[in-house]
Amino acid sequence: MKIIHIVGARPNFMKAAPVIEAMHSFPTITQKLVHTGQHYDPNMSQIFFDQLGMPRPDYNLEVGSGSHARQTAEVMVRFEDVLLECKPDLVLVYGDVNSTIATALVATKMGIRVGHVEAGLRSWDRSMPEEINRVLTDQISDYFFTPSVDADENLKREGIEPRSVFPVGNVMIDTLVKLLGKAREPTIPGRQEKFVLVTLHRPSNVDDPAMLGQLLATLNRISESIQVVFPIHPRTRRRLEQYNLSGVGGNLLLTDPFGYLEFLWLQQHASVVVTDSGGIQEETTYLQIPCLTMRENTERPVTVEIGTNILVGGDTARLRQEVENILDGRAKKGAIPPLWDGKAGMRIARILDGLLSLQ
């Protein structure tokens, strides 16, 4: 039984790593790893293979950056050749990036089954490219591995056959649980003991110069009370340079991106995390660290309903107020959602071993 795993962007690596490792326990399964090259910066790609202990990719499509249409098309064209050569029984896709929908579409048109890890998540915001990717991938997949109850309900509402839906938990938490003890403090000159950790990269926050400038001004104001550490995503750095935004105060530290182990340490020790990333909403919920999400919606509502996450939208005044509440000891209390226990990868491997053995 041949399975191909698809990774393309930073979040995919954390999701695929535990599934690949778990499948080593099943001798009937042969695995190959395809890296589409959607994230090609060493700080966003290579370092994750090293730190997560992932095998070297069997194929690197090296598609690089580009518009959504161009990037998706390049993945499709190059991945078709991989499928013609490998002839797998199943293509396993992760998350909601362009590589996810592109490879799923090629596979299903060639009559190859598709499994979607992290299926069923919905933000209900079609202006987000990731939402389009999620919805369409679920419409053409054969097996659905869900991280939370809301995902199960979304798939049922959309007419997906219940027997194809498998609640397995959150594979990103598998990686976190495994590596929590290996998290290591990064070298950040001038970093203080107490700090706010910030990561922002979504178009709604960084592509509008007025919004990005307002966010920087707010972070500078917050840094008057507590230090702000802001690892800059390559997209965000390009926008800062493009808009000539450099008004950064002395207690707002802009850094390069960190590897997984270093960023995990920062999350563990932050007083609060400000983000627009879906994965970080999940990780902070598991770590029980207060999280303020600069988005109007989230495809991970369980982090708000059960976890430590609060949506603040684009309201920078509320952002400041919520940070003050947390620093004053009024942080939201949260719990860890069901099945977020570090065993999702093994559940997926067992399910697929059984399914593929029967067919």
Q: For 54-110, what is each residue's pLDDT tens digit?
A: 888 999 999 988 899 999 999 999 999 999 999 999 999 999 999 999 999 999 999
Decide if pLDDT at 290 tops 80.
yes
Strand, coil or helix: 138: helix
Are the C-beta atoms of residues 291 and 284 closer than 8 Å to each other? yes
The answer on pLDDT for 190 being more than 70 is yes
Averaged confidence pLDDT in the chain: 93
Q: Global pTM?
A: 0.93
Domains recognised in the chain with CATH numbers: 2-177+340-357 (3.40.50.2000), 187-257+271-327 (3.40.50.2000)
Exposed (0-12), middle (13-18) or buried (19+): which is 187, by Cβ within 10 Å? exposed
State the average pLDDT over residues 340-358.
Answer: 91
Q: Catalytic amino acids?
A: 201
Task: pLDDT band for 43, please (50, 70, 90 cuts).
Answer: low
Cβ atoms 128, 154 nearer than 8 A: no
Q: How far is CA 191 from CA 186, 264, 324, in A?
A: 10, 16, 20
pLDDT band with cut points at 50, 70 and 90 for residue 163: very high
Distances (CA, A) of 83 to 78, 97, 116, 225, 269: 9, 20, 17, 55, 44
**Region 300-316: what's the mean pLDDT?**
97
Using DSSP's 3-state secondary structure scheme, residue 311 falls into: strand
Give the CA distances from residue 160 to residues 94, 230, 276, 303, in Å, rounded to whole numbers and listed in that order. 18, 41, 29, 24
